[in-house]
Amino acid sequence: MTGVSGLVAKVVDSYQRDKDMLIQILLDLQSGFGWLPKQVLDEVSKHLGVPITRVYQIATFYKAFSLAPKGKHLIRVCMGTACQVRGSALIRDRMEQLLGIKVGEITSDMKFSLETVNCLGCCAMGPMAEIDGIAHGPLTISKVEEILKKYE
């Protein structure tokens, strides 16, 4: 068994090959690999015994899964209502402007991926963004550049 095949088998087996746990399996693999390469999805279909169509359907239905590699630093701008009311759209626009990419894209040097998320649950601190899992807020348009500079 190749490395990838072995790793996938290990995760699938940890859930007793229970088909109901397909989403949990993919979450673990997404976390481990940072994204879901084609080979991983094929191996899941094989080891778990579910059609490849179903594996891809799950991988493309849910936002947590990425079928393409992500940037070194993952930025998630919260677009929840409370943040929206406090100007999160302007924060997102500023990020796009500074990074030269649109939401959902990755900078050409692979340093940053920019995403939006519909509510991180820190509504009192809006507008908020999470970078590499660390929450930043309340943000102002002027603060954005300063914060991005901290990430190399």
Partner 1 sequence: MPRLNSPTELEKLREEIKARRPPRPCISISSGTCGRARGSEAVITAFEEEIKKRGLKEEIDIKVTGCLGFCEKEPIILVHPDEICYLNAKPEDAAEIIQGIKDKKVVSRLLYTDPVTGEKIEHESEIPFYKRQLRIVLSLNKWIDPRNIEDYIIQGGYSALSKALFEMSSEQVLEEVKEANLRGRGGGGFPAGRKWKETKNAPGEPKYVIVNCDEGDPGAYMDRSLMEGNPHSVLEGLIIGAYAIGAHEGFIYVRQEYPLACENLNWAIKQAEEYGFLGENILGSGFNFRVKVHRGAGAFVSGESSALMSAVEGKAGEPRFKYIHTAVSGVKGRPSNLNNVETWATVPLIINKGADWFRSIGTEGSKGTKIFSLVGKVNNTGLVEVPMGMTLRQVIYDIGGGILKGKKFKAVQTGGPSGGVIPEQYLDTPVDFDELTKLGSMMGSGGMVVMDEDTCMVDVARYFVNFLCEESCGKCIPCREGLRLLRVILNDVCQGKGKEGDIEVIEEVAEVMAAASLCALGTTAANPVLSTLRYFRDEYEAHIKEKRCPAKFCKDLTSFYIQPEKCQACLICLRNCPAGAINGDKGLVHWIAQEKCSKCGICFEVCPPRFSAVVKLSGEPIPEPPPPGTKVIRKKEG
Partner 2 sequence: MEEMIALEIDGKEVKAKEGMTILEAARGANIEIPTLCYHEKLKPYGACRICSVEAERGGRVRIVAACGYPVEGGLLVRTRSPKIDRIRKVIIELVAPLAMSDGGISGELRRLADEYGADIHRFESRLQVEPTRCILCGLCVRYCDEVMGGHAIGFMGRGIERRVVFFPERASRFCPTCHECYEVCPTGKIAAETDGSIFPKFSIDDFLSGKM
Q: Which residues contact 67 (CB under 8 A, 6 or more apart)?
A: 35, 36, 59, 60
Strands 129-131 and 112-117 come out as: unpaired
Torsion of Cα atoms, 56 then 7 then 15 then 24, to 10°? -40
Per CB under 8 A, 52 contacts partner 2: yes
**Smallest distance, partner 2 to C-beta of residue 144, A:** 28
Per CB under 8 A, 33 contacts partner 2: no
The whole-angstrom separation of Cα 68 and Cα 70 is 6
Per CB under 8 A, 62 contacts partner 1: yes
Per CB under 8 A, 14 contacts partner 1: no
Q: Single out the residue of 61, 124, 134, 152 in contact with partner 2 (rule: CB under 8 A).
A: 61
SS (H, E, C) 128-143: CEEECCEEECCCCHHH
Count residues binding partner 1 (CB under 8 A). Answer: 49
Q: CB under 8 A: which stretch of 3-11, 25-33, 49-57, 106-114 binds partner 2?
A: 49-57
Q: Single out the residue of 21, 23, 37, 56 in contact with partner 2 (rule: CB under 8 A).
A: 56
Q: Which is nearer to partner 1, 92 or 112 (CB)?
A: 92
